[in-house]
Chain A
Amino acid sequence: MQARPDAAAEPLLSVRNLNVQFRSNDRLLHIVRDVSYDVRAGELVALVGESGCGKSVSSLAVMRLLSDPTTTRFSGEVRLAGRDYLRLPESEMRRLRGRDIAMVFQEPMTSLNPLMTVGRQIMEPMLEHLDIDRAAARERAIDLLKRVGVTDPKRRMDQYPHEFSGGMRQRVVIAIALSCNPKVIIADEPTTALDVTIQAQILDLLRALVKETGVGLVLITHNLALVARYADRVNVMYGGRIIESGTVEDVLRQPRHRYTAGLLMAVPRLDLPRAARLHTIPGQPPSPARFPSGCAFSPRCGAATAACGSVPADTVTRDRRYACFHPVVDVLPQEGEHAAAGAEHTFGTTVLSVRGLTRHFHLKRRAVVRAVEDVSFDIPQGGTLGLVGESGCGKTTVVRTLLRLQSATSGRADFAGQDILSAGKRDLVALRRQIQVVYQDPSTSLNPRHRIASILAEPLLVHGLCKSQGEARARVEELLGLVGLPAEMAERYPHQMSGGQRQRVGIARALGMNPRLIVCDEPVSALDVSIQAQIMNLLADLQAKLGLSYLFVAHDLAVVRHISDVVAVMYLGRVVETATRAELFSTPRHPYTRALLAAVPSFAADAGQGPEAKITGELPSPLNPPSGCVFRTRCPMAVEACAKVVPPPVAFSDTHRVACIRV
């Protein structure tokens, strides 16, 4: 970590007792409660928390972007360089926005006006706020583009947003934020929509800008690892309040608040030995409509007592603050609790064997998208294969073809002595019972018009697994128990449940068919960290209990490491490396795997394998993939020969295969 700025220096941005309320026809939501924090020059301050904790709303309030007084009210103080602007009339506030305080939003694909050139959008705030003519603004915009790492800025100035990739658009948004030399920038989940390699590029850029220009940056995120890697100070939010704050080292190494500690232990971490089970926080984050009175975390807290019924006052020590009646006193264990997480399993048999799976999409004018090209892997009986890769790598297409939601162009997939890809109609129905799916988004994977009971019972009755309604009802109850839901849930509709509960119903529906293999398509990526751990433990328990095999698709390497026995890494439609978990995470061989691992933000200070392992540039189009090795255009090790042949897999062990000629 770089030298921290003098803590005594006057803060640039100072938020004091900020409260925000939303009111609709029938509800009053007090979403942000007495939030206070400071941002100093050249400092990167993180606001971290799960969904609904009020982190985004508080920053919109700081920007004064919540402006409809009929639905929103706020109170408190927000000082920018000593001056409170929370009460300024909008006409004066507008002069501050974009000039002294700027914002970077989450969704780069939608935060630029599609009908205006990128250049004009960067020049807009300058022409509005600075005494500057068009030519000078243009000069400066070109300069800014260069600074945020856009190559050929002169030409790209006159292009439209749709000609930019997501990562490049986020760079443009950052250039807009920088355009008037603001004192403070608020970045609301700036990389959540981006792939991990692009995320690393963007955050490295932001951090460099902060250190170079002395701007203060508020980084809003749900990702603790990002905080560890990039922030100087951190504020942990829960139930609308900041419950703990301090320097990153202090808070992450020695959390005081029970919630912070629980959250840190619930995250699967690449820098620690793998624990067999993740630590979980029971229950779910409170919805803003029903923040518990007193300490909002108390209903989920193991240490809660009667005292927690009132709001804990801040305990302030030199450089820290936390609000907890029963603070953690120990240093957080740096090893997983069950550090001896058992030896690696060895698997004898294979449940699903995929060979040469290929899927091409034919577009108009003879264009072909090679979504999946010659993919092979084996899923061990009773084990988990993790299929990992960034967006556009083809992992979703692999899943859809294996489930026969799409047809494959060629290849085979043997399951119980039968090729899934060529199975006839009748065989397919039988296969479908044995291969079940858990989907990514629990909000769309359950029919909104059916009750949980009917969602779970319908397949049982259709396939004759239960002969009568009564039998089905008993089985539904049993299934709900299996996934840890109370039987009353059967009467609910999906929208009356939380995301985690819906995901449990999705798992129960799959289990109802007594499958041998469950395809988990990013089952935890839409969930909050504390819920994610619960679901991953549930999946592991079910596997041990029922002898299930999993095909686990994910983009989060830490999650993949936690849950998989064997891992296949995909890039641009091809599998570049397959290995056991131990092999892949201790001795990654393929340069792409290594770059991917290096890009994952890690809790360990100065982790990462240095800049040389990071990949630069962007994913090539699958319409026109590079010849030979598809990774060569971004590979630090590429040589001429890489362009000539598609690298055949090289075996390093029985289980470790790498498709690269340079290893």
Chain B
Amino acid sequence: MRKSSAATELWTTLPKPRGPVMKHILGQPLGALGLVLIVLGFVVAFAAPWIAPYDPLATDYGNAIAPPSFAHWMGTDSFGRDLLSRILFGGRTAFLIGVSASFIGCTIGLFVGITSAYAGGWVDAIVERFMEILLAIPITVLALVLVSSLGRNMVYGVDLNLVFAIALPIIPKMARVARSQALTIRNLSYIDAAVTLGFSDLRIIVRHMAPNIFGPYIVMLTAFISQAILIEASLSYLGLGVAEPTPSWGLMLAGNAFNTSMTAPWIVIYPGLAIALVVFAFSMFGDALRDVFDPKARADR
């Protein structure tokens, strides 16, 4: 709807034919960039023990608060630990907690939402009320309450309770989406057709409804990975998430980091950039997915 000075010449050339992959990339440049960053992030985080130049926990007080140099690309912190190595290892923590918390939260939410929609009646009413209550408490606050009450429960270096505390606030959000999606599909006539063909409830849910909620599930899963990574960072920053000495991006910003950064800004710049980049990647990828799955919100029609 730009100001048009009447385009009255017809096209004579056909648009260039493009392969399906190229078409997606051109249609969703930000999404494609997001995907590349995500894959890169995964690889780098996974390979951290092999590619990190230093031991992330090794202190070197003689070389504390060193600015970025050839030896320490991102400088060192106030304990003289190599920031780059800590960021690489922090990536493992972020991905691990982000992906698992989002997966747990979204999967439970999906199940709750579909069941609630399909059961209807008082089950639906009670579940809805409960979700409303959970939604009234801010995510960070809810996670904090859980963290403070559950304490720590380390399994293979991962604080399971922390994962659960981050996953819980995700459940109601996913459940809402799944429920409304299920209700929409429930009203389409192919579900009526399945009923009049005498199919069982289980068959209808599993074969006819669930696959069509898969799209929104994937979109939410991606979106909440970024949310979960952010919450993990916030909790760690507040000193209530990942515990020292495990490298975590949020933890790297905690304590004295801010005051130190007034003279040594790299101490807060790099870990924050790492968080931003990963969350940015997941958000963009999630956006692109949403456009693919929900043509209604598509940018160009």
Cβ B10 vs Cβ A439 within 8 A: no
A128 at the interface (CB under 8 A from B): no
Cβ B192 vs Cβ A439 within 8 A: yes
Q: Type the 1/0 row for A423-445, where 1 means its CB is closer than 8 Å to any CB of B.
A: 00000110011011101110011
B206 at the interface (CB under 8 A from A): no
Query: Roughly how many angstroms separate A16 CA and B63 CA in the complex, as a whole number?
Result: 82
Cβ B6 vs Cβ A463 within 8 A: no
Cβ A462 vs Cβ B3 within 8 A: no
Query: Roughly how many angstroms separate A30 CA and B197 CA in the complex, as a whole number?
Result: 43
Given A26-B18, A444-B189, A432:B1 Cβ within 8 A: no
Closest-CB distance, B167 to chain A (whole angstroms): 29
**B11, B17, B18, B197: the one within 8 Å of A432 (CB):** B197
- Which of A83-91, A106-114, A338-346 contacts its partner? A83-91
Query: Roughly how many angstroms separate A44 CA and B207 CA in the complex, as a whole number?
Result: 53
Query: Roughly how many angstroms separate A237 CA and B11 CA in the complex, as a whole number?
Result: 23
Q: Type the 1/0 row for A25-57, where 1 means its CB is closer than 8 Å to any CB of B.
A: 111101000000000000000000000000000
**B6, B17, B198: the one within 8 Å of A86 (CB):** B6
Query: Roughly how many angstroms separate A436 CA and B195 CA in the complex, as a whole number?
Result: 11
Cβ B212 vs Cβ A449 within 8 A: yes
Given A72-B7, A75-B8, A447-B208, A513:B26 Cβ within 8 A: no
Query: Roughly how many angstroms separate A75 CA and B1 CA in the complex, as a whole number?
Result: 18
CB-nearest residue of chain A relative to B26? A25
Closest-CB distance, B16 to chain A (whole angstroms): 8
Closest-CB distance, B151 to chain A (whole angstroms): 45
Q: Type the 1/0 row for B168-211, where 1 means its CB is closer than 8 Å to any CB of A.
A: 00000000000000000000111011111111000100011001
Query: Roughly how many angstroms separate A405 CA and B186 CA in the complex, as a whole number?
Result: 11
A69 at the interface (CB under 8 A from B): yes
B62 at the interface (CB under 8 A from A): no
Q: Which of A494-529 contact B (CB under 8 A)?
A: 506, 509, 513
Cβ A25 vs Cβ B199 within 8 A: no
Cβ B8 vs Cβ A73 within 8 A: yes
Enumerate chain B residues within 8 angstroms of A439, measured Cβ to Cβ: 189, 192-193
Cβ A23 vs Cβ B2 within 8 A: no
Query: Roughly how many angstroms separate A30 CA and B14 CA in the complex, as a whole number?
Result: 11
**A87, A405, A437, A513: the one within 8 Å of B8 (CB):** A87
Query: Roughly how many angstroms separate A80 CA and B23 CA in the complex, as a whole number?
Result: 42
Q: Type the 1/0 row for A75-117, where 1 means its CB is closer than 8 Å to any CB of B.
A: 1000000000011111101000000000000000000000000
Q: Which of B1, B8, B190 has the most chain A CB atoms inside 10 A of its CB?
A: B190
Enumerate chain A residues within 8 angstroms of B188, measured Cβ to Cβ: 444-445
B15 at the interface (CB under 8 A from A): yes
Cβ A73 vs Cβ B11 within 8 A: yes
Cβ B192 vs Cβ A73 within 8 A: no
**B2, B6, B196, B197: the one within 8 Å of A89 (CB):** B6
Closest-CB distance, B2 to chain A (whole angstroms): 7
CB-nearest residue of chain B relative to A91? B3
A221 at the interface (CB under 8 A from B): no
Enumerate chain B residues within 8 angstroms of A462, measured Cβ to Cβ: 197-199, 203
Enumerate chain B residues within 8 angstroms of A89, measured Cβ to Cβ: 5-6
Given A26-B17, A433-B198, A21:B11 Cβ within 8 A: yes
Q: Type the 1/0 row for B1-39, where 1 means its CB is closer than 8 Å to any CB of A.
A: 111111111110011011000010011000000000000
Given A67-B4, A73-B8, A405:B192 Cβ within 8 A: yes
Closest-CB distance, A466 to chain B (whole angstroms): 14
Cβ A73 vs Cβ B9 within 8 A: yes
Cβ A21 vs Cβ B199 within 8 A: no
Cβ A25 vs Cβ B23 within 8 A: yes
Cβ A403 vs Cβ B196 within 8 A: yes
Closest-CB distance, B19 to chain A (whole angstroms): 10
A19 at the interface (CB under 8 A from B): yes
Cβ B26 vs Cβ A440 within 8 A: no
Enumerate chain B residues within 8 angstroms of A68, measured Cβ to Cβ: 1-2, 4
Query: Roughly how many angstroms separate A459 CA and B193 CA in the complex, as a whole number?
Result: 10
Closest-CB distance, B299 to chain A (whole angstroms): 12
Cβ B14 vs Cβ A87 within 8 A: no
Cβ B189 vs Cβ A73 within 8 A: no
Q: Which of B8, B197, B198 has the most chain A CB atoms inside 10 A of its CB?
A: B197
Cβ A432 vs Cβ B196 within 8 A: yes
A322 at the interface (CB under 8 A from B): no
Cβ B8 vs Cβ A27 within 8 A: no
**A25, A30, A458: the one within 8 Å of B15 (CB):** A25
Enumerate chain A residues within 8 angstroms of B196, measured Cβ to Cβ: 403, 405, 432, 435-437
Enumerate chain B residues within 8 angstroms of A26, measured Cβ to Cβ: 15, 17-18, 23
Closest-CB distance, A231 to chain B (whole angstroms): 30
Cβ B192 vs Cβ A437 within 8 A: yes
Enumerate chain A residues within 8 angstroms of B23, measured Cβ to Cβ: 25-26
A550 at the interface (CB under 8 A from B): no
Query: Roughly how many angstroms separate A437 CA and B195 CA in the complex, as a whole number?
Result: 11
Enumerate chain B residues within 8 angstroms of A463, measured Cβ to Cβ: 198
Query: Roughly how many angstroms separate A90 CA and B208 CA in the complex, as a whole number?
Result: 49
Cβ B3 vs Cβ A90 within 8 A: yes
Enumerate chain B residues within 8 angstroms of A88, measured Cβ to Cβ: 6
Enumerate chain B residues within 8 angstroms of A72, measured Cβ to Cβ: 7
Given A69-B4, A90-B6, A462-B203, A440:B15 Cβ within 8 A: no
Cβ A25 vs Cβ B193 within 8 A: no
Cβ A446 vs Cβ B4 within 8 A: no
A415 at the interface (CB under 8 A from B): no
Q: List 5 A-B contacts (CB under 8 A).
A: A30-B10, A73-B8, A75-B8, A405-B192, A428-B198
CB-based closest 7 A-B pairs: A69-B7, A432-B198, A445-B189, A439-B189, A459-B197, A67-B4, A429-B198
